[in-house]
Amino acid sequence: MQKISDDLRAIVLLVQWDLTKIVRRVIFVAMRAVWFAVQVVVFGQVLAQMVNAKVIGLDASTYYNFYIFGIYTSILFTITASRAYDIAEEFEEGIIEYQLSLPIKRKVLAFGRAIGSGIASTLFTLPMFVTVLILAKEADPLAIAISIISALVFSIAISGLVLSITLSIKSSDATDILMGVLDAILVRLSTVFYPAVVLKNIAPYYYGALMNPLSHVADILRILYSFEDFKAIVISHPLAMASYVLGLFMGFTFLAMYIIEKKIEGGGWK
Amino acid sequence: MSEKAVEIVNFVKKFGDFVAVDNISLTIYTSEIFGLLGPNGSGKTTTLLTIATVYKPTSGDIRVYGYSVLSDGNKVRNLVGIAFQEPKALGIDKPYDLLLWHAKVVGYSSTEAKSVVKEVMDDLGLWEHRNKYFYQLSGGTRKKIEIAKILIQKPKVAIFDEPTAQVDVISKHYLWDKIRELKNEGSTIIVATNDMFEAERICERLAIIYKGKLKAVGTVKELKDSVPLGDVVELDLTAHVDSKILDILNQFGRVSASGNKVLIYVNRGEEVAVNIIDSLRRVGVKVVRIMVKEPTLDDVFFYLTGAKLKEEV
């Protein structure tokens, strides 16, 4: 029991580490928040008028709601993925070496950093999520609670992936390029902007979107908001989508734990 | 001899094709202050970081109180604390928050952590800097914060990588006292330094490392005695040095004489000096002034490593 409480304590402290470092991201997140505001207030509104959503059984205002939950998912992914730059900075400044020397199990270090990173990213996007809820006129407390939990689980999963990639490639330049490419591909090859029923007409895109965690998270949020409106156009059954996101959470977190415990050592940053 | 605290066994560390540490074996005993002495790039930091489990050995092993860094990393990390050569913090960190977090991670409760952090920060003159950003601090202050982590942690094996680099002379002496105090409280201390004076002042035993290889291990005295004819006996005589006097002096070592001044290169200078005076007195030559100089650690280093002054090290 003592060991478990030591591990829990370490996880709490690692989460605290990420939350206290949140201030260094303010400018980046402010820029993303402005982008988000333009997307939902201008672009989303115009797009909803342009898109003939009736072919998929939606009216313009429903498509707008479809769009803003997608945009929220994409911003959550972008902000979580951008943790790669923080981790790169921490490696360059020797913080990772410092943390590797601390009396914390490596698995706990990986798990704590993934959770801390996920919580920090979700917290950052919370004002944007509230904006989406207001625009969508969503007020069901249960739906809101499940949405936030889904967002958090997704963000922790992506943090695990980002930790694994950044610490493995040990290069700021490679991290920049890889994260930029990942962001561009994953956001577009998903149901963030286009419903799965439309993607079905283009098989490679559809199967790409089916594998893409962003599709599942965006569609979970939509289903939670309005099951009736979206049940026919989401990428999969709600339980299947939830299981997929949970599976990614476990998979990517274990990947980070494995890499940090077995593979990572200090030095060698390029 | 005391219990083995750290046992380095055939330790090799390579980075790609570069061999940073080449087959080092040595033992560090409980509650001693052990120094790793060598120039920049000699493998000291690599060795320390491997003891702290930050690096993994390419081959060989390092055991801390019997626990292997390869298979018992978690147990090793519970015994070891390291003050890095470059202080580890982000520019936006504040010293108090950083040290408080560190104190909690190494096992203090919240209340204890606040108390011990205040005590150590006060002690090192850091309290007034507690709420400044790290980027606002001088190099010396940053270094003290790095040292403070270990003074708070009080690990069984405390590692200091160039603990007084960038620190002013007053603080330097104070930090040495703090390191000795930590040793007296039961910690085994490992100090890496390229400062011969620092090594001589605080280390009880030393290992000289050069280009990744271990050149010698011993106390400062043992290392100095290992330099053949390393002591210098300087004499001023009442008479000019003639062939008769030279014959006498040549029995003790290599002689360099000019007028009535003589330099004799010997082993164990203090013991030999007495015999020199006796021998000269027997032939009626008096010694006006005598001085015995030991080799410095610089001399020891150059002798053991074969390094040259102009060599890129």
Among A74-78, A143-147, B243-247, B256-260, the least confident range: B256-260
Determine contact, residues B160/B192, Cβ cutoff 8 Å.
yes
B26 closest CA partner among B41, B40, B38? B38
Q: Which ipTM did the prediction report?
A: 0.86
How would DSSP label each residue in A3-29?
Answer: HHHHHHHHHHHHHHHHHHTGGGGHHHH
Residue B309 has pLDDT above 70, yes or no: no
| B189 vs B196, more confident | B189
Find the domain containing A57 and state its range.
2-263
Domain boundary assignment for chain B: 4-225, 231-294
Closest residue in B to A10 (Cα–Cα): B105
Contacts of A21 (CB under 8 A, 6+ apart): A86, A120, B90, B92
What pLDDT score was predicted for residue B308?
Answer: 58
* Closest by CA position to A110, among listed A94, A120, A99: A99
Q: How many domains does chain A have?
A: 1
Higher pLDDT pick, B81 / A88: B81
Q: Predicted confidence band at B312 (pLDDT cuts at 50, 70, 90)?
A: very low
Which CATH number is associated with domain B231-294?
A: 3.30.70.2470
Q: Which CATH architecture has domain B4-225?
A: 3-Layer(aba) Sandwich (3.40)
CB within 8 Å: B101 and A17 = yes
Per-position DSSP letters for chain B, written without gaps between them: ---EEEEEEEEEEEETTEEEEEEEEEEEETT-EEEEE--TTSSHHHHHHHHTTSS--SEEEEEETTEETTT-HHHHHHHEEEE-SS----TT--HHHHHHHHHHHTT--HHHHHHHHHHHHHHTT-GGGTTS-GGGS-HHHHHHHHHHHHHHH--SEEEEESTTTT--HHHHHHHHHHHHHHHHTT-EEEEEES-HHHHHHH-SEEEEEETTEEEEEE-HHHHHHTSTT-EEEEEEESS---HHHHHHHHTTSEEEEETTEEEEEESSHHHHHHHHHHHHHHTTPPEEEEEEEPPPHHHHHHHHH---TTS--
- For residue A19, tell me if it sits in a domain: yes
d(CA A243, CA B307): 65
Does A265 contact B88 at a Cβ distance shorter than 8 Å? no
How many Å lie between the alpha carbon of A57 and the closest alpha carbon of chain B?
51
Q: Cα distance from A266 to chain B (closest Cα, Å)? A: 5
* Chain A interface residues (partner B, CB cutoff 8 A): 9-10, 13, 16-17, 20-21, 23-24, 89-90, 93-95, 97-98, 100-106, 265-268
Q: Mean pLDDT, to the nearest integer, of B262-278?
A: 87
Taking CA–CA distances from A104, the nearest residue in chain B reads B74
Q: Which residues of B touch A20 (CB under 8 A)?
A: 97, 101
**pLDDT band, very low/low/confident/very high, at B310 (cuts 50, 70, 90):** low
What pLDDT score was predicted for residue B47?
A: 97
Q: Residue A73: its pLDDT value, please?
A: 95
Query: Of all residues in chain B, what percent carry a pLDDT higher than 90?
Result: 65
> Which residue bears the tokens 């011990």?
B116
CA distances to A69, B140, B197 from B170, in Å: 61, 11, 15
Whether the CB-CB separation of B35 and B191 falls below 8 Å is answered with yes
* Tens digit of each residue's pLDDT (9 = 90 or more) over B28-45: 999 999 999 998 889 999
Chain B residue numbers touching A24 (CB-CB < 8 A)? 90, 92
Contact state of B105 with A20 under an 8 Å Cβ cutoff: no
Q: How many Å apart are CA A91 and CA A268, to the nearest integer?
A: 10
Q: What is the pLDDT of residue B313?
A: 42
Buried b (16+ CB within 10 A) or exposed e, B162-197: bbbbebeeebbebbbebbeebbeeebbbbbbbbbbe
- Chain A residues in contact with B82 by the CB 8 A cut-off are 101
* A269 within a domain of the structure (yes/no): no
CA distance B179 to B202: 8
Chain A residues in contact with B52 by the CB 8 A cut-off are 101
Q: What pLDDT does A4 receive?
A: 67
Share of chain A residues as helix, strand and coil, in percent rounded to the nearest 5: 85, 0, 15
Chain B residues lying within 8 Å of A266, measured CB to CB = 49, 54-55
Chain B residues in contact with A257 by the CB 8 A cut-off are none
- In order along its 270 residues, chain A shows pLDDT tens digits of 556 688 999 999 999 999 888 777 778 778 888 888 898 888 888 888 877 767 777 776 778 888 999 999 999 999 999 888 888 888 888 899 999 999 999 999 999 999 999 999 999 899 999 999 998 888 889 999 999 999 999 999 999 999 999 888 888 888 889 988 998 999 889 999 888 888 888 888 889 999 999 999 999 999 888 877 777 788 888 899 999 999 999 999 999 999 998 888 877 666
Contact state of B106 with A102 under an 8 Å Cβ cutoff: yes
